[in-house]
């Protein structure tokens, strides 16, 4: 009997289906019929996962390792080698492709595949089973020819298509060199054959797929291909279709604009990485971006299309201080994307951002997600405040729950006002998670009138309107009568004084 092979990973949540795992499975060749694909989530106990994996009596277990699952996977690998040392453990993924020295997860594994493992994993399994395994532990295969890969989309199950995100890619790689991103290591972007790709999309659509999330770093790099893909979805548009693309912000010619404008509301989303509006910082991290074109394109998208716009900013980049970030944040708020994702810089393994560590006194968390803790421009206390700012921003501004109250939340100085609000929420609750919706409304009902003297009645009415817009049929006790503000603005201002930025 042919020994069994198990391909597995730990997803952040059930809704995320692993595209990488399906590529490996699709390209197992004659070993595919002896291979089992299994997905878990990071909230499952490693010992329970080990039991499930070993139930298949595998000869080889391949595990995909990412920033969100590396700690749990390290525990899993250690358990597997204790329980079943005869099983060959093969690791792949960005978290094990770089910086191998003195890492427990690397020491416990039998083989590490660095980079693209689409074909290499199957070849390694064949060698192990045939008794001719490679002598090297660290393997760095050449990039595969995309035209020769078996595409993975047939291996999304019907349940996947009904209940999970369908991740897809029309190209790999990225021609840009932004140093915080692993794609900076790519030499260029490689497209899949567009006809072959769209045939796969048609098969997914016919099977019932309606949510398509493209993982391409530069979807709009090739204008003709971008339009052809969007035309494919427009021709099959129904009320359930939802398509997500990552867009280069300063590259939006008229032909693409005309196509985007034809999508109905609620069916197209763009993730647009602004990251920073500071040109000196852009130069420092090798980011090429025309800020004026990016801003004009964002404004055009908001005013002329129904697309949902999700824009990204990164705090903690080398050379950027609180004041500079605040100016960029205010500029982005004025452009009015539907969501602004405030991310704290992470030093992903292998990224060129490491070259700035000494010059800019970059201090990173040694544990995932490797977030920056301090720089020469931003001390640890400020970094903590901004981490809370990001969390509260998601909870309040990005949630869509406070659309009526938003003008009072942001005022005419959005960054300063929201940082003050975030500091106050933290001082009163000591929590950044698990704040119940009614509790959050109650907190804002006490804080906002103090931040906007003379507007208490108007704020009270907007909060009631926002609460009812959530679908709630009752008015919470905290909103039945305007409460007396419970904070002293002068105290908060004193706490803010050393971080306050000039007008």
pLDDT 10s digits, 253-290: 999 999 999 999 999 999 999 999 999 999 999 999 99
| 3-class SS of residue 486 | coil
CB contact at 8 A, 428 and 450: no
Residue 161 shares a structural domain with residue 121: no
The answer to whether the predicted template modeling score (pTM) of the entire model surpasses 0.85 is yes
> Does some domain include residue 38?
yes
Dihedral of the alpha carbons of 444, 446, 450, 454, in degrees to the nearest 10:
90
280 class by beta-carbon count within 10 Å (0-12 exposed, 13-18 middle, 19+ buried): exposed
137/90 same-domain check: yes
**Residue 156's closest CA among 228, 101, 208, 83?**
208
Give dist(CA 419, CA 86) in Å, integer: 55
The gap from C-alpha 458 to its chain's centroid, in whole angstroms, comes to 37
Regarding whether 461 and 374 lie in a shared domain, the answer is: no
Out of 87, 115, 144, pick the residue that ends a domain: 144
pLDDT at 1: 61
- Residue 39 pLDDT: 98
Mean pLDDT per block of 10 residues along the chain (503 residues) reads 89 96 97 97 98 97 98 98 97 96 94 96 97 96 94 97 94 92 88 97 96 92 94 90 94 95 96 97 96 97 97 98 98 97 96 97 97 98 98 96 95 95 94 91 92 91 93 83 50 37 37
Cα–Cα distance, 326 to 255 (Å, whole number): 34
What's phi and psi for 437, nearest 5 deg? Answer: -55, -45
How far apart, in whole angstroms, are the C-alpha atoms of residue 190 and residue 218?
Answer: 11
- Between CA 445 and CA 392 the distance in angstroms is 16
Count of C-beta atoms within a 10 Å radius of residue 431: 12
**Number of domains observed in the structure of the chain:** 3
Domain assignment of residue 131, given as a range: 4-144
* End-to-end C-alpha distance for the chain, whole angstroms: 74
What strands, in cross-sheet order, belong to the sheet with 138-139?
35-41, 4-11, 58-64, 88-92, 111-113, 138-139
Distance CA 179, CA 252 (A): 23
* H-state helical runs in 248-335: 254-260, 279-284, 291-304, 322-335
Angle between helix axes 437-451 and 456-469 (nearest 10 degrees) is 160
Q: Domain check: are 129 and 195 in the same one?
A: no
d(CA 328, CA 415): 9
pLDDT for res 204: 97
Q: 128 and 212: one domain?
A: no
Are both 91 and 203 inside the same structural domain? no
Reported as a single tens digit per residue, the pLDDT across 28-41 is 999 999 999 999 99
If asked whether residues 325 and 466 sit together in one domain, one would say no
Burial 452-484 (b: 16+ CB within 10 A, else e): beeebebbbebbbebbeeeeeeeebebbeebee
Instruction: Supply the CATH number for residue 325's domain.
Output: 3.80.30.20
CATH number of the CATH domain containing 140: 3.40.50.280
> In 3-state terms, what secondary structure has residue 24?
helix
Q: Which of 38, 39, 103, 91 is nearest to 66 (CA)?
A: 91
Note whether residue 392 is domain-resident.
no
Domain match, 122 and 29 both:
yes
Decide: 417 and 411 in contact? Cβ < 8 Å.
Answer: yes
Map 249-267 to HEC letters: CCCCCHHHHHHHCCCCCCC
Which DSSP letter does residue 34 get?
A: G
The answer on 134 and 170 residing in a single domain is no
Q: Helix 414-429 and helix 322-335: axis angle, to 10°? A: 110
Same domain for 468 and 350: no
Is the Cα dihedral 234, 240, 241, 246 positive or negative? Answer: positive
């Amino acid at each position: 009997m042919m020994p069994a092979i198990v391909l597995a990973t730990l997803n952040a949540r059930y809704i995320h289906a692993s595209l990488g795992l399906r590529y490996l499975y699709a390209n197992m060749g004659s070993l595919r019929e002896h291979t089992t694909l299994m997905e878990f989530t990071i909230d499952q106990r490693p010992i329970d996962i080990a039991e499930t994996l070993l139930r298949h009596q595998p000869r080889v277990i391949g595990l995909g390792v990412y920033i969100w699952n590396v700690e749990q996977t390290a525990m899993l690998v250690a358990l597997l080698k204790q329980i079943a040392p005869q099983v060959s453990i093969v690791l792949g993924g960005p978290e094990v492709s770089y910086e191998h020295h003195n890492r427990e997860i690397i020491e416990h594994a039998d083989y590490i595949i660095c980079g693209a493992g689409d074909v290499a994993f199957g070849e390694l399994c064949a060698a192990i089973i045939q008794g001719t395994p490679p002598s090297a532990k660290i393997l760095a295969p050449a990039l595969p020819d995309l035209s020769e890969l078996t595409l993975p989309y047939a291996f999304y199950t019907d349940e996947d298509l009904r209940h999970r995100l369908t991740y897809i890619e029309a190209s790999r790689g990225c021609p840009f060199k932004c140093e915080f991103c692993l794609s900076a290591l790519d030499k260029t972007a490689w497209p899949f054959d567009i006809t072959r790709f769209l045939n796969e999309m048609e098969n997914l659509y016919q099977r019932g797929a309606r949510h398509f999330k493209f993982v391409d770093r530069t979807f709009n790099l090739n204008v003709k291909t971008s339009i052809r893909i969007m035309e494919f979805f427009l021709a099959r548009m129904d009320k359930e279709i939802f398509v997500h693309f990552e867009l280069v912000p300063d590259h939006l010619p008229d032909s693409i604009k005309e196509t985007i404008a034809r999508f109905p509301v609620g069916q197209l989303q763009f993730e647009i990485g602004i990251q920073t509006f500071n040109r000196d910082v852009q130069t420092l991290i090798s980011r090429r971006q025309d800020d004026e074109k990016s801003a004009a394109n964002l404004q055009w998208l908001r005013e002329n299309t129904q697309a949902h716009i999700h824009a990204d900013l990164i705090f903690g980049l080398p050379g950027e201080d609180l004041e500079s970030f605040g100016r960029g944040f205010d500029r982005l708020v004025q452009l009015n994307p539907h969501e602004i994702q405030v991310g704290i810089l992470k030093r992903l393994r292998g990224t060129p951002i490491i070259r700035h560590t000494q010059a800019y006194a970059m201090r990173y968390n040694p544990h995932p997600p490797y977030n920056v803790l301090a720089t020469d421009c931003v001390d640890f206390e400020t970094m903590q405040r901004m981490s809370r700012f990001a969390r509260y921003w998601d909870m309040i501004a990005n949630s869509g729950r406070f659309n009526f109250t938003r003008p009072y939340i942001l005022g005419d100085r959005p960054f300063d006002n929201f940082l003050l609000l975030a500091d106050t929420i933290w001082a009163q609750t000591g929590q950044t998670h698990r704040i119940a919706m009614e509790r959050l409304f109650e907190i804002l009902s006490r804080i906002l009138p103090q931040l906007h003297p003379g507007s208490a009645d108007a704020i009270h009415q907007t909060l009631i309107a926002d609460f009812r817009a959530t679908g709630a049929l009752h008015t919470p006790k905290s909103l039945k009568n305007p409460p007396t503000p419970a904070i002293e603005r002068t105290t908060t201002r004193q706490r803010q004084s050393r971080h306050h930025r000039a007008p």
